[in-house]
Each structure stands twice: as C-alpha cells, then as structure tokens.
Amino acid sequence: MIRLILVSLFLICFLILSIPIMIFEWIFKKFNSYAADISSLRIVQWAFRVVLFLAGTKVTIIGEERVPKDQAVLYVPNHQSYFDIIITYSRCPGLTGYVSKDFLEKVPLLSVWMRRLNCLFLNRSNLKEGLKTILTGIEYIKKGISICIFPEGTRNPHPEEGLLPFKEGSLKIAEKSGCPIIPIAITNSQEIWEKHMPYMRKCSVIVEYGEPIYLKDLDKEQRKFSGAYTHNKIEEMLKQHQSML
C-alpha cells in the first residue's frame, strides 16, 4: 500500500504545484511554441519516471533504436495497464500526443496538461466526433507531432489469453498521413497494479519497439487489414517475451 500512497501523493502534488509552470509555459509558447512544447514534454516525462521509480517498476527496453527520429510516427501498443501510458510516454523522443477516452477531458488540471501535450480526446460513441479526432491526428502528424493510439480500444483484463481484436479504423492516421507505424509490445505492466489492486507491486516490465511498418510497402491484402497485420507483429513480440521474464 505504501507504493500506492507515494505515487498518489506525488501525482497530486505535481498537478497542484505545476500550476505556475503551466502559466509560464502558456506565456513562453507565445514567443517560442516549439520550445515550450518540448519543455512541457520533458517535465511530464520526468514526472512519469519518478512515478515508475516510486512504484518499483524496472523497465527493459528493446529495439528503441528502430523508432525514426526525423519524422512523426504512429505508435501502436497493446494495452494492459494504466501504466502503459506512463511507461511509453516517458520514452518518446519528440512531441507526441496520445488518443485518450473523452471522459479524461473533464478531469481538472490533468486535462490541461493533456491538451498542452497534444493529446486527443476520442468519443467512441459518436462517429462524427471520432472522425474529427482522427482528422486532427492526421494534421498533427503532418506538423511533426507523433500520435499514440491503443487499437484494442480498452485495457485487456486477460492479456495471458492474447490481444483483443484491433479496431481497423485506429490506423487511419497512418493510412492517410503516410507515416510509419511503430508496433509496441508491452509485457507484464498489469503486474504493477491491476493484478492486485489496491496494492502496487515491485515488478519488471518489457517494452519492445518493432520494425516500422510502412503501409505503402505492404501488399493489397495486408493494407486492407493493416490492423490485423500490426496485431500479429505485436503478438509475435509478446510471445518472445515469455522466456525473458
């Protein structure tokens, strides 16, 4: 329970004490937008690394060198835990927005930081609003801002049984923008908290970045079912992780 208390206290303190920082970043952005965005990214990445330290999480990273550093990408991870966001965002080399459920837009302070970090809020029950979100994501990619989306649509409560089906529409951002897809396989993140709520446990997590997928290089059938293709690539990596735990 002590880990949960420490993480909770840190996050609450960070959100409250960061109010002056947000005001400064808002002013700074008027003079140098890119520098202000990078500054916000690094501040939050630092906070997330502190959270992982307090939670006792050791992260093994594989294949991070495969991520292109000179262009925006679409990150596509599997989803087991709330910590998937904390782990992957702390590793992003450049500006990156996450596609999140729209209820988070109503959370005070957190939503302000999320908007500062180019996050998109997706209303899954409204097709028109969902399309607007995807179109915004495409515009972000064109501006050099990477996007991360969890194509399973929700956290998988039983990752040991395999990935949930991918929603094909989740990869439209890559299809329409031409950016590479970076498949990410995350193993064991549910052991941090979800497997034994409310306790947080010290554990090891494996995060592997797969080879970039360029849809234009796939054959017609693979492009048609790009979600299933990416799904299979992530499953292959997850299977290899089992011998590493």
136 is a domain residue: yes
- CA atoms of 184 and 92, how far apart (whole Å): 12
The β-bridge partners of 194 are none
Q: Which residue has the tokens 């990869």?
A: 171
- CA atoms of 104 and 190, how far apart (whole Å): 21
Tokens of 13: 């303190």
HEC string of 70-135 equals CCCCEEEECCCCCHHHHHHHCCCCCCEEEEEEHHHHHCCCHHHHHHHCCCEEECCCCHHHHHHHHH
pLDDT of residue 193: 94
Give the domain extent around 214: 57-241
Q: pTM of this prediction?
A: 0.93
- CA atoms of 187 and 10, how far apart (whole Å): 25
38 is a domain residue: no
26 is a domain residue: no
pLDDT of residue 1: 83
CATH (domain of 166): 3.40.1130.10
- CA atoms of 6 and 69, how far apart (whole Å): 34
pLDDT of residue 238: 96
pLDDT of residue 153: 87
Stated as kind and residue range, the H or E segment containing 57 is strand 57-62
Q: How far is CA 240 from CA 15, 71, 76, 110, 117, in A?
A: 38, 28, 18, 36, 33
pLDDT of residue 236: 96
33 is a domain residue: no
Tokens of 231: 């799904």
163 is a domain residue: yes
Tokens of 92: 């992003």
Domain tally, the chain: 1
11 is a domain residue: no
Q: What is the dihedral of CA 34, 35, 37, 39, to 10 degrees?
A: 170
Consecutive sets of 10 residues in the chain, 245 residues long: mean pLDDT of each?
Answer: 94 94 90 93 97 97 95 97 97 95 81 90 76 91 96 89 86 94 97 92 96 92 89 96 84
pLDDT of residue 170: 83
What sign has the CA pseudo-torsion 149, 152, 154, 159? negative
37 is a domain residue: no
127 is a domain residue: yes
